[in-house]
Amino acid sequence: MAPPDNDVLWARSLHCSLGGSEALSGVSLGVREGEILAVTGPRGSGKTTLLRCLSGRLVPQEGEVWFNSGPVHTLSPAQRERLRRERFGWIGPEPGLVPELTGWENTALPLLLRGAPRRAAKTTALEWLDRLDAGACARKRPRALTQSQRQRISIARALVTTPPVLFADEPTATLHRADGAQVLRTLTAAARSHGITMVLATHDAEVAALADRAVALLDGRRAGAVSPATGAEGVAACSLSV
């Protein structure tokens, strides 16, 4: 079955077991180009696993993932790695910075790895750091920064290539509430102004409210699903989601 034309990402009936437990049990959804979609649900409901499947980090045992009308689930590991590097951005709950690099070097890393000239990469990195109110961190190494500053750098790093799709997994979970709210407003504004499609996992209703639309998970299923996922249920879930 081909995905709908207006979905940049589309998943059908994903099943994924991790460590013996069923993390996803037949999840289907579509993500429209340029929309910010929140994936909500309590801890352990499968949000991270869903984002990992959609982004090609993890291949589900069953089901399909399509990006721009091309299958992701059938790609080789090298092809998926390339897709992730060239088309997707990822923000996790922890910054994951390279300790030896300064703030701007960490931010510019995706551009430098693509072969961008150092001067141009630095200029772009500094612009994104300024936008995230982290310009003062440009010359400092991660150990000299606060958790909030480190996370702002990781967000700047994810945005620096303006990827078509950005996956954000609880991106402000480790920040204080006011700080997190401000970072999220900047992140969603940047996504909207650059037409970046964003899939945002969160267990926080206030964070989800910043999205255009939300889908809820519970115990690895779309919350509210009336029957176990089958091909037909997957289609129904997709048409509900578009």
Interacting span for ligand ATP (CB under 6 A) from 41-49, 136-144, 149-157, 183-191: 41-49
When asked if residue 48 is in the footprint of ligand ATP (CB under 6 A), the reply is yes
- What beta strand segments (E) does 147-233 contain? 165-169, 197-202, 213-218, 221-222
Q: Measure the CA–CA gap between 78 and 60, rounded to whole angstroms.
A: 17
Q: Measure the CA–CA gap between 242 and 230, rounded to whole angstroms.
A: 19
Residue nearest to ligand ATP (CB): 19
Q: Measure the CA–CA gap between 110 and 75, rounded to whole angstroms.
A: 22
Which of 17, 162 has the CB closer to ligand ATP?
17
Q: Which two tokens stand for residue 49?
A: 């696993």
When asked if residue 46 is in the footprint of ligand ATP (CB under 6 A), the reply is yes
CA distances from 200 to 5, 34, 85, 108, 205 (A): 22, 13, 19, 23, 12
Chain residues 186-215 in contact with ligand ATP, contact rule CB under 6 A: 203
When asked if residue 41 is in the footprint of ligand ATP (CB under 6 A), the reply is yes
When asked if residue 30 is in the footprint of ligand ATP (CB under 6 A), the reply is no
When asked if residue 47 is in the footprint of ligand ATP (CB under 6 A), the reply is yes
When asked if residue 21 is in the footprint of ligand ATP (CB under 6 A), the reply is yes
Residue 173: CA atoms inside 13 Å, Cβ hemisphere, count?
Answer: 15
Q: How far is the CB of 16 from ligand ATP (least distance, A)?
A: 8
Q: How far is the CB of 41 from ligand ATP (least distance, A)?
A: 5
Neighbour count for residue 43 (Cβ, 10 Å): 8
Binding residues for ligand ATP (CB under 6 A): 18-19, 21, 23, 41, 43-49, 203
